[in-house]
């Protein structure tokens, strides 16, 4: 019984701390004017348009099982930072890479991660 009471007390205390930290972070984000709005669960709508992609020189391929994943501007810490392109290995022979991209959503943009599809 004592273990259950201590466990419950620790959980409640940690939950309270988590709420306090989350509310503090939310206050800082609002006070700092972070250019984000809520979107579909797991997505962030960025109200500042992404910059034009940087033209990259693509190095020679490592082989037929490798696909170039172009660089993109990631939105981190309230600003865009360039993430250079790189080669990724196909997970299976008929895999086709669909590159990540920004979609216009309402008054902002959402980054859609790249993903593998099967070719027909």
pLDDT tens digits, residue range 8-20? 445 444 455 445 4
Residues 20, 50, single domain; the answer is no
pLDDT tens digits, one per residue of 55-89: 999 999 999 999 999 999 999 999 999 999 999 99
Give buried/exposed letters for 53-88 (b at 16+ CB in 10 A, else e): eeeeeeeeeeeeeebebbebbebeeeebeeeebeeb
Q: What pLDDT shows up at residue 43?
A: 76
Q: Is the pLDDT of residue 102 over 90?
A: yes
Domain count, the chain: 2
> Do 107 and 91 share a domain, yes or no?
yes
Domain holding 20, by residue range, is 1-33
- CA Rg, the chain, in Å? 21
Query: What confidence score (pLDDT) does residue 7 get?
Result: 47
Residue 87: in which H helix or E strand, if any?
strand 86-89
Please determine, for residue 3, whether its predicted confidence score (pLDDT) is greater than 80: no
Let me know whether 59 and 93 are in one domain: yes
* Residue 119: HSE in the Cβ half-sphere, 13 Å Cα cutoff: 8
pLDDT for the residue 44: 85
Q: Are residues 27 and 51 in the same domain?
A: no
Out of 2-6, 75-79, 81-85, 101-105, least confident range: 2-6
């Amino acid at each position: 019984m004592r273990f259950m009471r201590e466990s419950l007390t620790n959980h409640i205390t940690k939950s309270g701390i988590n709420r306090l930290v989350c509310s503090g972070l939310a206050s800082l984000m609002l006070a700092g004017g972070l250019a984000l709005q809520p979107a579909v669960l797991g997505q962030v709508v960025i109200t500042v348009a992404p910059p034009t992609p940087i033209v990259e020189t693509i190095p020679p391929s490592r082989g037929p099982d490798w696909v170039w994943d172009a660089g993109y501007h990631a939105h981190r810490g309230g600003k865009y930072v360039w993430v250079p392109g790189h080669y990724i290995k196909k997970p299976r022979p008929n895999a086709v890479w669909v590159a990540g991209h920004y979609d216009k959503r309402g008054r902002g943009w959402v980054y859609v991660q790249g993903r593998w599809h099967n070719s027909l």
